[in-house]
């Protein structure tokens, strides 16, 4: 099992550096999982791309709909955020990183899974807390 953070999942919908590696995770045959907050974080990434002029309103809306459809078709398992919130808070204080990002770390720790991220700050800060964090 692999826990993906939003920085990776967003690359499935927003073509940018690392998209090929992110897409390879879907094709890897591994079970993919993430905290439920990923639903909103990927929607926010798509919205941000629209606001910055990288997508038309129609393309942004279609991309958001595609993301939600993929979640409905179980592209990954969503874990309730409250299962990992207490640990995420503690990790946030320990590694000095946002709680929302630490939800992914806490989820991976609870499941004993790899955490895959393209967030360099998260990667470097979390290494001391969890050895199974990696980039795609």
Q: For 113-129, write each residue's pLDDT tens digit.
A: 999 999 999 999 999 99
Distances (CA, A) of 53 to 8, 46, 48, 64, 122: 21, 11, 9, 16, 27
pLDDT band at 29 (very low <50, low <70, confident <90, very high): confident
pTM equals 0.93
**Which CATH superfamily does the domain covering 2-37+76-134 fall into?**
5'-nuclease (3.40.50.1010)
Q: Diameter of the chain by CA atoms? A: 42
Q: What is the pLDDT of residue 15?
A: 83
pLDDT in tens, 32-41: 999 999 999 9
pLDDT digits (tens, 9 = 90+) for 76-99: 999 999 999 999 999 999 999 999
Inter-residue long-range contacts of 18-25, CB under 8 Å, 24+ positions, other chains counted:
18/118, 18/136, 21/136, 22/118, 22/136, 24/136, 25/116, 25/136
Domain ranges of the chain: 2-37+76-134
Give the CA-trace dihedral at 100, 67, 46, 56, to 10 degrees. Answer: -170
């Amino acid at each position: 099992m692999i826990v993906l953070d939003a920085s990776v999942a967003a690359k499935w919908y927003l073509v940018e550096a690392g998209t090929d590696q992110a897409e390879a995770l879907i094709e890897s045959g591994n079970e993919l999982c993430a905290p439920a907050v990923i639903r909103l974080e990927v929607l926010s990434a798509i919205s941000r791309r629209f606001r910055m002029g990288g997508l038309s309103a129609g393309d942004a809306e279609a991309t958001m709909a595609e993301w939600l459809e993929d979640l409905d078709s179980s592209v990954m398992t969503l874990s309730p955020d409250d299962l990992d919130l207490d640990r995420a808070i503690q990790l946030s204080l320990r590694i000095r990183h946002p709680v929302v990002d630490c939800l992914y770390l806490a989820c991976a720790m609870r499941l004993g899974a790899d955490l895959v991220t393209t967030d360099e700050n998260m990667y470097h800060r979390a290494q001391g807390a969890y050895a199974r964090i990696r980039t795609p």
